[in-house]
Structure 1
Amino acid sequence: MERELKLRIPIEDLEKLRHAPLLAQSKSATDPPKLLTSTYFDTPELAFHWCGASLRVRVVGGERLQTLKLERSARTGLFDRDEFEMPVDSDTPDLKLLLDQISADTDCGKLIRDEATAARLKPVFVTRINRSAIPLRLPSGDELEVALDEGTIEADSGSVPIVAVELELKHGQPENLYEVALELLETVPLRIDHMSKADLGYELLVAERSDAVKAQPVQLNKRDSIEDAFCSIARNCLDQVHANERGVVSGHDPSSVHQMRVGLRRLRSALDLFADEIPAYAGLGEELRWIASELGAARDWEVLAGSTLERAGTCASPDEILPVRQVCEQIAANNRQLAAAAVESARYTRLVLQFVTWLNRQGWRDGMSDKQRGSIDRPASQFAADVLRRRHRILIKRGKRLAELDDHRRHRARIAAKKVRYATEFFASLCPRRAVRHYVDALTALQDDLGWRNDAVVADQLLKSVPRVSPDAASGAAFARGYLASRVAADHQTLKKLWKKFRRLSPPG
């Protein structure tokens, strides 16, 4: 099993990192780097890649090592995967050496047992890396290796440079990798890496794109404590955030921005939900609001340029709407670049590393009294029921005469509905399934209506700024604003019916 935290670093900071206090204490810090040449092999149709594996032969001095890695998705930069490494006598892989290592009933196991596979293997890309490997022994006794890498990944289709830092756990607890990364971040601006070297190599061969990732259902156990539930929910939210980082950085899919933003909203809601029992550390809320706002502008302009103007365009001349759409699409693209830069920043890296360290270490226990620790050890089921009832009451209060509320008060009701929805989904596995389904269905319909109404309010504000950017788009922007206002007015009865239907229900706890 290999456990590595992968980070990227500007090439101009690599030597500075070598002299960081944590690394300078090691005698190996001044050793010259070693050249690692690794040739990755696959079949012409990339069968190993498609079954989630990478196969390489690495030359180090006069030795050759064959390595098979079963790739898994990284969690906040931590690659936790099965690795099978053994010496070989030639420059090409020997699949027979893997037969006792890989189960025959897996896709990869079937592949290496197919006699035709070995004959069809060919080099697909090569990595040439100058590596400085610095062993560290922490005061806790944990052992890890810090690898400073500089080199290239080369394929027939092109090459890419790579400058990276890898923290590999040799012995101890994975959370120590995050703490070491935080200490190194004090010296140079590191960034979490979302891709392994194999990922980068295959990206030269295959034009793969990272799809937007929705939240997975939270699975809680009836015997879970409040603290157990918090940890499961927080990690679930963090998984959604991290799964969409790569898509945000690539900038190709606006949906990744949306889903990462949803993940952040869910995480902020979870922290608020548990705040009385498990208070967040100082500054966390501010940093989460910062990254959410960096994504928010991109998302708002995407919605306007897409679905909002598409609906308006059905009732207007294309010549009138087209200039508006072009302006909005360009502003949206610019904001996607800003969102990508935020996710690539050292500030965001610090936020993630600090949060994961706090979560893994259960940092909230520091300074807690015995009574407070006893409180978070209580069963989560009763806590969940109390939370759902309380949040439901807040929504009912804020939603009184919902269809007649002004934009500000309706926005507060929408936020309350969102918090109820997230809380219900967080605790759904502790509640009767049928009750959850009916409640969430009615709440979802209400949220959808409130959501597009909020989009209309935001769009109206954005459209006011469009003529200043492009006078040619002024008439189209004015038409779109009028169209949205008419749609909101026409929705009055629908919102009344949706609210009436929801108001009859009781929370599922």
Structure 2
Amino acid sequence: MARHLPMSQEIELKLNLPTKAVPALRRHPIFSSAARQGNAVTLDNTYFDTPGLALKQRKVALRIRRHGRVRLQTVKCSAVSAGGLTQRPEWEHPYSGAFDFSAVDAPKVLKLLKRHEAALQPVFSTRFRRETRLYAPREGVRILMMIDTGEVIAGEQREPICELELELVEGCPLDLLLLACELAADLPLLPNDVSKAERGYRLHLGYEPEALRAELSTINLEETPVEAFRTLAFSCLRQWQANASAATHSTKPEFIHQLRVALRRLRSLLALFAPALPADFVADWRERLKHNADRFGDMRDLDVLYDEVLAPVVAAATGVEEPSLTRLTGLAVAARDEARDAAVHDLDLATQGRLLIEFTAALHAVPTSDLIEAVDLRSFARLQLTRLRKKVRRRFEAAADLVPAHLHALRIALKRLRYGVEFFAPLFRAKAGKRYLQCIVRAQDALGFVNDVDVARGRLLGWAGEDAELRAAAAFVSGWHSPRYARLARRALRELDPLLWGKTPWSR
């Protein structure tokens, strides 16, 4: 049964696309056959705030929109977003030259607006052309498709707007996502949670986006395993999407690194909740996410090789080894730059967008059952974390010989345990969980360095080939790190021993 939305509730899916793809969107059968909603219009929007940006601090946006002689006042609040799908309260009515907040029925928002009304002033504006079509494939489903092209303006600063907004008029959020899947099969569409208002504030403040790291878990005991999985998966999606979007406009390697972290966490999450999920859903998406992450692995490995392994040795080197190290460094820099170029090339907007949209739709469609809904989430978490710890124990015992392959397997198993503890953290004792995580992170960092040196050794020798001077330089680098390598490997095993056989935060 279709769900009718309250007038003050807006559910939309925002999709960015390159300007050159707009003609293809207009020609797309879905868009071109949908009912035109009047002629294209030009919308001028001015956003207001206090000099100290008091509204922004509370995640409230106030806008006056002008379309010809018609002016509308709109108040929007912070949105719940994931995979580009945004749900937010909104109040809109005609503007007659003075602010009128009488329609705002959220007491805290109304109080904020009234308190700062006298100090409100224009901060930035947007101007764009909007083409609107109504998609109504069947009874109970109506979606507005809006192409917006224009710019955000803050003082002398300008930034282009080119996006497709899908706004739910009647139906459910999955209807939006299924429409987006159909369009993304043929068009380069990337979901984007950043509103025009947020873009305006960033431009006004001269803010450069930073790589988005993993969010803290917000699950609670009232959720079923499937509900908790969705909550955590949407968090991973936000990290993936934000970094994919930023990486298309930046050469900073951290964006792609955090994108890979999001994909790793999402794959671990799928494995962690596999008993509560359809087996084909888990298998399909673990494989697809792995393939996506593998596109960018070489770049991260070579960044680490240069920054963490090679650069410290070069900085400390004196004497006869300097010329050969310089040659080796040249090869490393060339390989790193080539990997960065390949990663940027492989960061295909269409591919990332299609995966994001399809996974978001799949998340909304994940089925449940009475049996799964009856499972206690805390008991489920205990079982899964205990299983992960047992696997780390096995890897720990094998790694006692300090063989690199065994240390690497221990590191991977430990990382999955860490993600599991982070995901389930709100369900158990906070202080004990924090201490346990700190121990895991220390051991993981130590094993990470050990693995970095092992990987670097193989790459350096590969670049050296049969060149005796370069092989000597590669051996010098490995030897320079060997005392720390051995110390950290032994320390990681020593610190993990009580962690793996002692009391845990999830113990009863």
Q: TM-score range by the shorter chain?
A: 0.7 to 0.9
2:124 corresponds in structure 1 to 124
2:433 corresponds in structure 1 to 436
5+ residue gaps, structure 1: 366-371
Mapped pair 1:151 → 2:150 = yes
Deviations 1:141-199 (A, max 9, x none): 13221001223334442433332211011233222211110111233222223433233
Shift of 1:237: 2.7
Aligned partners of 1:55 and 1:69 also within 8 Å: yes
Distance 1:217 1:126, change over 3 A: closer
C-alpha distance in 1 between matches for 2:151 and 2:221: 51
SS in 1 for 2:186: coil
Shift of 1:289: 0.9
5+ residue gaps, structure 2: 1-8
**Count of residue pairs brought into register by the alignment:** 492
2:30 corresponds in structure 1 to 22
Q: State the one-letter code of the partner of 1:15.
A: P
Kindly report which structure 2 residues correspond to 1:44-123, keeping only aligned pairs within 5 A, or say none. Answer: 48-72=55-79, 74-90=81-97, 94-95=98-99, 97-98=100-101, 101=104, 109-110=111-112, 113-114=115-116, 116-118=118-120, 121-122=121-122
Deviations 1:309-344 (A, max 9, x none): 454356324976777667756755664555455455
C-alpha distance in 1 between matches for 2:500 and 2:53: 55
Q: State the one-letter code of the partner of 2:149.
A: E
C-alpha distance in 2 between matches for 1:332 and 1:109: 54
Deviations 1:341-376 (A, max 9, x none): 5455212211111111111122x55xxxxxx76256
Kindly report which structure 2 residues correspond to 1:154-165, keeping only aligned pairs within 5 A, or say none. Answer: 154-165=153-164
Distance 1:194 1:309, change over 3 A: farther
Mapped pair 1:36 → 2:43 = yes
Distance 1:115 1:499, change over 3 A: closer
2:375 corresponds in structure 1 to 378
C-alpha distance in 1 between matches for 2:326 and 2:113: 52
Shift of 1:76: 1.6
C-alpha distance in 2 between matches for 1:436 and 1:225: 21
Kindly report which structure 2 residues correspond to 1:160-171, keeping only aligned pairs within 5 A, or say none. Answer: 160-171=159-170
Mapped pair 1:307 → 2:304 = no
Q: State the one-letter code of the partner of 1:35.
A: T
Shift of 1:443: 2.6
C-alpha distance in 1 between matches for 2:251 and 2:316: 29
Shift of 1:249: 3.4
Distance 1:162 1:438, change over 3 A: closer
Distance 1:293 1:450, change over 3 A: same
C-alpha distance in 2 between matches for 1:133 and 1:56: 20
1:497 corresponds in structure 2 to 494
Shift of 1:252: 5.6
Distance 1:65 1:463, change over 3 A: farther
Distance 1:506 1:113, change over 3 A: closer
2:358 corresponds in structure 1 to 354
SS in 1 for 2:166: strand
Deviations 1:37-90 (A, max 9, x none): 223445566554455344333222321122233344742212333333222235
Distance 1:195 1:232, change over 3 A: closer
Aligned partners of 2:450 and 2:489 also within 8 Å: no
Shift of 1:138: 4.2
C-alpha distance in 1 between matches for 2:56 and 2:223: 38
Distance 1:117 1:137, change over 3 A: same
C-alpha distance in 1 between matches for 2:495 and 2:284: 38
2:288 corresponds in structure 1 to 287
Aligned partners of 1:214 and 1:240 also within 8 Å: yes
1:399 corresponds in structure 2 to 396
C-alpha distance in 1 between matches for 2:198 and 2:433: 40
C-alpha distance in 1 between matches for 2:49 and 2:249: 26
C-alpha distance in 2 between matches for 1:44 and 1:474: 62
Shift of 1:6: 1.0
Shift of 1:293: 1.7
2:171 corresponds in structure 1 to 172
Query: TM-score, structure 1 length as denominator?
Result: 0.83
Q: State the one-letter code of the partner of 1:212.
A: A
With 407-416 and 227-236 compared, the bigger mean Cα shift is at 227-236
Aligned partners of 1:215 and 1:263 also within 8 Å: yes
* Selected match of 2:478 from 463, 477, 481: 481
With 266-275 and 203-212 compared, the bigger mean Cα shift is at 203-212
Shift of 1:432: 4.3
C-alpha distance in 2 between matches for 1:45 and 1:326: 49
Aligned partners of 2:17 and 2:190 also within 8 Å: yes
Shift of 1:396: 1.3
SS in 2 for 1:114: helix
Mapped pair 1:298 → 2:295 = no
C-alpha distance in 2 between matches for 1:200 and 1:224: 34
1:207 corresponds in structure 2 to 206
Q: State the one-letter code of the partner of 2:494.
A: K
1:425 corresponds in structure 2 to 422
Shift of 1:486: 4.2
1:368 corresponds in structure 2 to none
Mapped pair 1:240 → 2:242 = no
2:16 corresponds in structure 1 to 8
RMSD between aligned residues: 3.5
C-alpha distance in 2 between matches for 1:43 and 1:501: 55
Aligned partners of 2:44 and 2:125 also within 8 Å: no
1:369 corresponds in structure 2 to none
Distance 1:400 1:130, change over 3 A: same
Shift of 1:7: 0.9
With 472-481 and 158-167 compared, the bigger mean Cα shift is at 472-481
Aligned partners of 2:185 and 2:354 also within 8 Å: no
Shift of 1:211: 2.8
Identity %, equivalent residues: 29
C-alpha distance in 2 between matches for 1:376 and 1:317: 65
SS in 2 for 1:304: helix
C-alpha distance in 2 between matches for 1:109 and 1:324: 64
Aligned partners of 1:182 and 1:350 also within 8 Å: yes
Aligned partners of 1:147 and 1:166 also within 8 Å: yes
Query: TM-score, structure 2 length as denominator?
Result: 0.83
C-alpha distance in 1 between matches for 2:190 and 2:145: 15
Deviations 1:252-294 (A, max 9, x none): 6544333332222121112112324412426322320122123
SS in 2 for 1:152: strand
Shift of 1:223: 4.8
SS in 2 for 1:136: strand
Shift of 1:434: 5.4
